[in-house]
Copies of this chain bind each other. A is one copy, B any other.
Amino acid sequence: MFKEEVSKSTIGMKTKLPLGFKSAGIHCGIKKSRKDLALIVSDYPAAAAGVFTLNKVQAAPVILSKKHLKESDNFYAIIVNSGNANACTGERGYFDAEQMTEQTAELIGVKKEEVLVASTGVIGEPLPMEKIINGISAIKNYLADGDEKDAAEAIMTTDTFYKTESSSFIIDGKEVTISGIAKGSGMIHPNMATMLGFVTTDAAIDKDLLQEMLKNTADKTFNRIVVDGDTSTNDMVLMLSNSASGVVITKGSDSQKTFEAELFTLLKKLAIDIVKDGEGATKLVEVKVEGALTEEDAIKAAKTIALSPLVKTAIHGEDANWGRIIAAVGYSGIDFDPDKFEIFINGTQILQKNYIVTLPNAVANQTLKSDQIELVVKLNQGNESANCWTCDFSEDYVKINGSYRS
């Protein structure tokens, strides 16, 4: 019931920030002309949570934000720059990241440990700190509630469009809002570029529960867009909850379920926005692997399919080339019996067990005409399943592979 209310109320609406939050995005001079500095501020003390890159090489802002999350209970701001990742910059880089939190803290009158920081862009070059410090002084004048368009633009690198989503829903008779911005990349392999996400809510959620919910939902969304183990030096998703709605989310309650479901949907939308921004992408593809022995196997198989250039070019060419799907699972490293393999595309079975094909190729290819593809692989080995999202490969990449059958 809540869900319906929400979906109706948000149709055609702009996104909006939760109560007590403001954001801004400006050009401070790191990039030539595009926005490159974003600030999100909470008027009230907020609990914070974060998930971070697994890369062995971690950028200074990753190290510092993790440290602040351990040191403080209350947070008031997230400061982010794009155009320079402040990664592989040694001690100076760490000092610069600290400076960013200090300047921001000073600006809004809090402690530097109560500010989180993120960066994205070129690796190995020192931050142009004069520009950033001037930017931080200036950005306060642009802080506004409403949508987060400017902040979302200011965190972009190779992204071709900004990514914002928000959702308002009723818990205990009161409205709660979650809002998020994200950036991904325009690359063929999203796994090589920095992914950032910043989520805010006006619910009251204690730190541990917030961390638990962010981890759970990010694992099934941001970490399912063919990313995960292969992460950049700077990846992070941060979340702030500032209690301004007066709605308290307690662990194990129905309201937690509602909230977590909404958070999942919001992060999923942002994750899909990142996929849609893939280079030359023309189709959004959800890969679902069912009947695996373990969830880990299902994730591994789904991601291997989603990463396969051969599968992605076939989908682009609307060629239901199931052999490429089986071959990808074959080198994914999981245990399975190829004879039990079944494949469904947008609900139509294109491969039965024992490699039996009942549809003529032309009919099977029809299943790929849509710009949204659901590719289901049933391994028939066990009961575990997982999904992930990816996009097709188009254009020049296809020139060679598209003529493969000629």
A: residues with CB less than 8 A from B are 31-32, 54-57, 85, 87-90, 121-125, 157-158, 186-189, 192-193, 229-233, 279-280, 308-310, 321-324, 326-327, 329-331, 333-336, 338-339, 354-355, 357, 395-397, 400-401, 403-406
Q: Whole-angstrom distance between the alpha carbons of A97 and B231 in the complex? A: 43
Taking a contact as CB atoms under 8 Å apart, the answer to whether A187 and B400 are in contact is yes
Q: If the complex has contacts A233-B330, A406-B31, are A397 and B279 also in contact, measured as CB distance less than 8 A? A: yes
How many copies of this chain does one complex carry? Answer: 2
Report the minimal beta-carbon distance from A391 to chain B, rounded to whole angstroms: 13
Separation in Å of the A330 CB from the closest CB of chain B? 3
**Chain B residue nearest to A399 in the complex (CB):** B279
Q: Is the CB of A309 within 8 A of B233?
A: no
Given A331-B230, A406-B31, A90:B400 Cβ within 8 A: no
B326 engages A123 (CB within 8 Å): yes
Complex contacts, A87 vs chain B, CB 8 Å = 323, 327
Q: Let me know if B279 and A123 touch, CB within 8 A.
A: no
In the complex, how many angstroms separate the beta carbon of A81 from the nearest chain B beta carbon? 14
CB pair A279 B400 closer than 8 Å: yes
> Does B331 contact A123, Cβ atoms closer than 8 Å?
no
Tell me which of B32, B89, B310, B338 contacts A406 (CB under 8 A).
B32
| Closest B residue by C-beta to A334 | B56
Min CB–CB distance A307 → chain B (angstroms): 9
**A313–chain B nearest beta-carbon distance, Å:** 9
Once A396-B280, A396-B395 are accepted as A-B contacts, the answer to whether A122 and B327 lie under 8 Å apart by CB is no
The 10 closest A-B pairs by CB, nearest first: A123-B323, A124-B323, A57-B330, A55-B330, A186-B400, A56-B330, A396-B396, A90-B355, A230-B331, A55-B331
Whether B124 lies near A322 (C-beta < 8 A) is yes
Q: A321 with B123: in contact, given A229-B331, A338-B56 (CB under 8 Å)? A: yes
What are 30 pairs between A and B in contact, CB < 8 Å? A32-B406, A55-B327, A55-B331, A56-B329, A56-B330, A56-B335, A56-B336, A57-B327, A57-B330, A57-B338, A85-B323, A87-B323, A88-B322, A90-B355, A122-B321, A123-B326, A124-B321, A124-B355, A157-B404, A186-B400, A186-B401, A187-B309, A192-B309, A229-B331, A229-B333, A233-B323, A279-B396, A279-B397, A396-B396, A397-B397
CB contacts (< 8 Å) of A31 on chain B: these are 406
Q: Which chain B residue shows the least CB distance to A335?
A: B56
Closest beta carbon of chain B to A96's beta carbon, Å = 13
Beyond known contacts A56-B335, A187-B309: 10 more, CB 8 A cutoff: A55-B330, A88-B355, A121-B404, A123-B323, A123-B326, A123-B327, A186-B401, A187-B310, A189-B309, A229-B331
- Is B192 a contact of A308 with CB atoms below 8 Å? yes
Question: Which residues of B sit under 8 angstroms from A396, Cβ to Cβ?
Answer: 279-280, 395-397
Most buried by B among A54, A87, A339: A87
